[in-house]
């Protein structure tokens, strides 16, 4: 193995490779500086005392982090993120897979269905947020329609927490208001998982199904034992992609509910924005940003590790 690498190094680069390296280098250096450099900078700020308009880089240690974990708002943020992520990913997978399986039944006009389900993905979250905010708004939307029948749903004004229990000072359980946001997010992203699953289903050779049928398996069993296991890599990809979206979600919530009463729909990105740009708590904001980065890393790093192993 080691000698192999040694031999490789000695070999000269071809002209094409030199060109590639020459052209990759600028963007490589820029990314090094503007992405990784700034991550480092944010980490540095998060350890400082810079919580006013005037920069103050004196060392504060982990003070900003300690503050956050004692802060009611940040505790709510972590709880909301957890429940949002679980519900959002779960529903996107269930709906996406269900629709993909239905569309895969070789029905007529398939491309029409595909386009209809894919379309919401063409919108940005901020647009989805505004649309759903209108739909759920008590004076303009869907609620007024229901109101004509005497039903007055509270949607995201609700401050209740379902199946709640207290753990220390944090009230755990699913905030009802989060459901409204999850509905909008799922509406937007289901098309994506549908497309992924459909591609996966199309990649499964017919011979496999035929073979299973020959062995006397029912259609249900074929899906259960043959197709679903083969879709596993796709599910993993969807979880990774959805997880990083949901851990960083900002625009949808900003447009739809804001922080919500009692912060029931607040998320770290909202808090980070308000702390940094409204309160000028730069160090606190940076600490939130770093925590968000770490949360995403929990999902992404094992995946990258895994696929790297797969490469070699």
Partner 1 sequence: MKKWLGIIALFSLVFALAACSDSSDGSGGDSDGGGESASGKVEIFSWWTGAGEEDGLLALIDLFKEEYPDIEVENAAVAGGAGTNAKAVLATRMQGDDPPSTFQVHGGAELNEGWVAADKMEPLDDFYKENDWMDKFPEELIDLVSSDGHIWSVPVDIHRGNVIFYNMKVFEENGVKVPTTFDEFFEAADKLKAAGVVPLALGDKESWTATQVFENVLLGVLGPDDYQKLFAGEIALDDAQVVEAAEKFKKILGYVNEDHASRNWQDSAQLVANGEAAMINMGDWAKGYFVNDLDMETNKDFGYFAFPDTKGDFVVITDTFGLPKGIENPKEVKKFLTLLGSVEGQDTFNPLKGSIPARVDADPSKYDQYGKDTMEDFKNARLVPSLAHGSAASAGFLTKVNQAVNIFVTQGDVDNFIQALTNASSEM
Q: Work out how close the CB of 298 gets to partner 1 at its nearest, in angstroms, rounded to a whole number.
A: 27
- What is the rounded (10 degree) CA torsion for 170, 172, 176, 180? 90
125 to 164: interface string for partner 1, x by CB under 8 A: -----------xxxx--------------xxxx-x-----
Stretch that binds partner 1, among 39-47, 88-96, 208-216, 277-285 (CB under 8 A): 277-285
Binding track over 186-225 against partner 1, x by CB under 8 A: ----------------------------------------
Residue given tokens 């004509």 in the structure block = 148
* Cβ-based nearer residue to partner 1, 1 or 22: 22
For residue 265, the minimal CB distance to partner 1 (Å) is 9
Positive or negative, the Cα torsion across 254, 274, 269, 262? negative
Q: In the 8-state DSSP scheme, what is residue 265?
A: T
What is the Cβ-side half-sphere exposure of residue 50, based on CA atoms within 13 angstroms?
A: 20
**Contacting partner 1 within 26-85 (CB under 8 A):** 26-27, 30, 34, 51-55, 72-73
Q: How far is the CB of 79 from partner 1 (least distance, A)?
A: 14
Task: Give the span between the Cα atoms of 33 and 231, in whole angstroms.
Answer: 38
Judge whether 286 and 64 are in contact, CB under 8 Å: yes
161-167/170-175 β-pairing? antiparallel
Q: How far is the CB of 9 from partner 1 (least distance, A)?
A: 23
Answer yes or no: are the C-beta atoms of 74 and 288 closer than 8 Å.
yes
Does 279 help bind partner 1 (rule: CB under 8 A)?
Answer: yes
Give the nearer residue to partner 1 in terms of CB position, either 273 or 299. Answer: 273
Cα distance between residue 250 and residue 248, in whole Å: 6
Binding interface with partner 1 (CB under 8 A): 16, 19-20, 23-24, 26-27, 30, 34, 51-55, 72-73, 136-139, 154-157, 159, 257-263, 273-281
């Amino acid at each position: 193995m080691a000698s192999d690498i040694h031999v490789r190094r000695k070999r000269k680069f071809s002209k094409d490779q030199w060109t590639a390296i020459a052209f990759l280098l600028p963007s490589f250096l820029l990314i090094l500086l503007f992405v990784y450099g700034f991550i480092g900078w944010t980490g540095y700020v998060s350890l400082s005392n810079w919580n006013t308009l005037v920069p103050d880089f004196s060392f504060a240690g982990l003070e900003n982090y300690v503050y956050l974990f004692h802060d009611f708002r940040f505790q709510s943020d972590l709880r909301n993120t957890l429940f949002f992520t679980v519900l959002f990913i779960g529903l996107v997978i269930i709906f996406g897979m269900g629709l993909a399986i239905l569309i895969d039944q070789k029905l007529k006009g398939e491309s029409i269905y595909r386009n209809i389900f894919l379309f919401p993905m063409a919108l940005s979250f901020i647009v989805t947020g505004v649309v759903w905010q209108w739909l759920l708004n008590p004076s303009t939307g869907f609620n007024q329609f229901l109101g004509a029948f005497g039903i007055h749903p509270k949607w995201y004004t609700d401050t209740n927490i379902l199946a709640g229990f207290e753990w220390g000072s944090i009230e755990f359980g699913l905030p009802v208001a989060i459901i409204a946001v999850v509905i909008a997010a799922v509406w937007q992203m289901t098309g994506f998982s549908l497309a992924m699953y459909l591609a996966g289903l199309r990649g499964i050779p017919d011979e496999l199904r035929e073979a299973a049928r020959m062995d006397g398996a029912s259609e249900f069993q074929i899906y259960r034992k043959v197709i679903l296991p083969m879709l596993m890599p796709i599910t993993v990809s969807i979880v990774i992609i959805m997880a990083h979206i949901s851990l960083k979600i900002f625009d949808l919530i900003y447009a739809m509910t804001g922080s919500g009463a009692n912060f029931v729909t607040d998320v770290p990105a909202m808090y980070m924005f308000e702390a940094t740009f409204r309160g000028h708590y730069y160090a606190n904001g940076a600490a939130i940003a770093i925590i968000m980065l770490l949360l995403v890393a929990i999902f992404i790093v094992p995946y990258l590790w895994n696929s790297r192993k797969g490469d070699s």
